[in-house]
Amino acid sequence: MPRALIVGNTDGIGLALTRRLLDTGWDVVGVSRRPSELDSPAYEHVVADVTAADYARQIGNFGTGGTVDLAVYAAGIGEPLDLANLGEQTDAIRVNLLGAALTADAVLPAMVEAGRGHFVGLSSLADILVTPDAPGYAASKAGLTSYLLSLGKAVRKHGVAVTAVRFGFVDTKMAKSPVAPFKISVDEAVDVLVRVIANKPSLISYPRKMALAARALRTFSRP
């Protein structure tokens, strides 16, 4: 059976993707700070915080050991800017960017050695924005997209794929903004991820109309 690691899967996109993979015959190891509500013999949960000093060690062997065919980094946070609490922006960079890098660090060497595997990171169309609203989120996603695209080029010749997924608004608790144009359902986001897992592109921006809107916003947002 194919085996996946999904980091950030007690909620939102990560939870829905985990359910879809379990329904279609995958073994899944999930990681998040809270215990999981999932109850399946094909599912194992590791309670871990990606910002903890021992995170890399905690996911080092995914509980039962062995490599994974697929790793999806779906953990993410984002708070609006509060100038009295810039720590929240720093936290977004820690979780969204550093956590993803630590996860890649834990799984990619084994994939390269095996000559196969796929690492998927959930970035965002916000990766091109200069925004006073959520600077930590935008910076974390800019860094994440860049890191994934660069890593992907490095590991492709070893038979390993890396995908940066740039969603617009997805209907989860994270999409709190009252203005969320072209918002898609979690199911639609999972449909996109299933195609990503099948086709292994290096980059996907979805939905297309929101990607075009983000490009226009970038033009206006740059100093």
Ligand X SMILES: NC(=O)c1ccc[n+]([C@@H]2O[C@H](COP(=O)([O-])OP(=O)(O)OC[C@H]3O[C@@H](n4cnc5c(N)ncnc54)[C@H](OP(=O)(O)O)[C@@H]3O)[C@@H](O)[C@H]2O)c1
Given the rule CB under 6 A, which residues bind ligand X? 8-14, 32-34, 49-51, 74-77, 95-96, 122, 124, 167, 169-170, 172-175
CB contact at 8 A, 118 and 71: yes
In the complex, minimum distance from the CB of residue 68 to ligand X, in angstroms, rounded to a whole number = 17
Q: Which is nearer to ligand X, 10 or 108 (CB)?
A: 10
Q: Which is nearer to ligand X, 51 or 202 (CB)?
A: 51
Q: Which is nearer to ligand X, 26 or 169 (CB)?
A: 169
Q: Which is nearer to ligand X, 49 or 69 (CB)?
A: 49
Q: Which is nearer to ligand X, 59 or 111 (CB)?
A: 59
CA atoms within 13 A on the CB side of 59: 32
Tokens 């922006």 found at:
89
Q: Taking phi first (over 0 means left), then psi (-120 to 50 degrees means alpha), and beta for anything else, what does residue 169 get?
A: beta
In the complex, minimum distance from the CB of residue 169 to ligand X, in angstroms, rounded to a whole number = 4
Q: Which is nearer to ligand X, 15 or 161 (CB)?
A: 15
Distance CA 168, CA 172 (A): 12
Distance CA 90, CA 82 (A): 12
Distance CA 166, CA 193 (A): 11
Distance CA 59, CA 129 (A): 32
Distance CA 92, CA 162 (A): 22
What is the CB neighbour count within 10 angstroms for residue 166?
22
